[in-house]
Amino acid sequence: MSQVRKKRREAFLLGNEAVVEGALAAGCTFYAGYPITPSTEIMETMARRLPQLPDGVFLQMEDEIASMGAVIGASLAGRKAMTATSGPGFSLMQEQIGYAAMTETPLVLVDVMRGGASTGLPTSPGQGDVQQARWGSHGDHPILVLSAADVPECLEMTVTAFNFAEKYRTPVVLLLDEITAHTREKVSLPEPGDFEVFSRPVPTMPPEWYKPYEETLRGVPPMPPLGTGYRFHVTGLSHDLLGFPTSRPEEVAALVERQFRKIDRFFHDVQLVEHVMTEDAEALVIAYGCVARSARLAVRQAREAGVRAGLLVLKTLFPFPRSHVEKLLRSCRLAVVPELNVGQISREVKRVNEGYAAVRTINRVDGQIIAPAQILKEIA
């Protein structure tokens, strides 16, 4: 009792700045990017912070394709590396995301979603990149897509993104929106030890025994940094256990199967949701990002009005937290999915619904937020 508890450091941060705090707490030492609204504060903060670290590297690249290339290279060399972008830049990064997924290179990509297609509404919020985050790169590949709804969560979910990337050797996309990224809130700054921090498994066997894409218990093969004696081949071509190109059907199928299984087997670990008054809910709201904040108020107001409303906040968007959603759909009469797009997560909800509940959508694509009243109207 007599111990003086050290006062926690607090700061009043933008969501974008909180991402940087989270990244540094997770051990990120490498950032490469290209400026784009509304993600730029992540890059600018990294530009000031990383050179202050003994081995920190910040690079402004010539475009988003190069940014992802540099991040992949740094990760192969053993660094925890990230980039951040917004819609148009996210589109440019897609091929490299597929390369990272195929080569099982851990990295974190923050996409701050703005409004509209193409150049769209650069300074307005949107949630139109959701399905692109899952399927934007060609070909079947596993990927993790996370989201955050407020500033403290931006910090926390960035740590989670790095942990998942390292644990499962996969690119992880953290989807924010312009509102969450540009909201300023009080954040408790992380002290060492606050978060459990994972680093990728590295091989312990002698180099001559090492098979870079060998099956392991968890499906995640160990990954040595380049230059540490484990000389192996990294390729975006379909490859065998040694990493060399192959087109033998049994080897190709085994590779794809393992790449999906390494995520599938740990659904319980990677599918993060927050339940708000869902135990007895009849009317359920499923939301993520800034819309989840409006939904939170709407659900509270509905409760005050006597409606048994509940909210499921999706922190993991993909793999879609099916088990959580399905369970609630079975017990609710109504599910409302408000989104700042024409219906990208509601597709997933409808896909798992199978007639359990009535699914209503609220879609807004004019660059404006969905207000609590709009959600309340649907559930009350």
Q: Which residues bind other proteins (CB under 8 A)?
A: 30, 32, 51-54, 56-57, 59, 61-63, 65-79, 81, 95-96, 99, 225-229, 231-237, 242, 244-245
Nearest distance, CB of residue 255 and other proteins, angstroms: 15
Shortest CB 231 distance to other proteins, Å: 5
**CB of 94: closest distance to other proteins in angstroms?**
11
Nearer to other proteins, 64 or 153 (CB): 64
Contacts of 137 (CB under 8 A, 6+ apart): 94, 95, 97, 98, 101, 143
Cα Dmax for the chain: 68
Q: Which is nearer to other proteins, 82 or 340 (CB)?
A: 82
We find the least distance from the C-beta atom of residue 35 to other proteins, in angstroms, to be 15
Specify the residue, 27 or 236, whose C-beta has the smaller distance to other proteins: 236
Nearer to other proteins, 239 or 296 (CB): 239
Rounded to the nearest whole angstrom, what is the least distance from the CB of residue 204 to other proteins in the complex?
17
Cβ 19 to other proteins, closest distance in Å? 20
Q: Rank residues 242 and 373 by Cβ distance to other proteins and give the closer one.
A: 242
Q: Which is nearer to other proteins, 81 or 285 (CB)?
A: 81
d(CA 90, CA 326): 30
Residues 6+ apart with CB under 8 A from 99: 72, 105, 236
Q: Which residues contact 279 (CB under 8 A, 6 or more apart)?
A: 310
d(CA 266, CA 204) in angstroms, rounded, equals: 24
Contact in structure between 288 and 313 (CB atoms under 8 Å): yes
How far is the C-alpha of 174 from the C-alpha of 108, rounded, in Å? 7
- Quick one: tokens of 341? 């797009």
Q: Are strands 358-363 and 334-339 parallel, antiparallel or unpaired?
A: parallel
Q: What is the DSSP letter of 38?
A: T
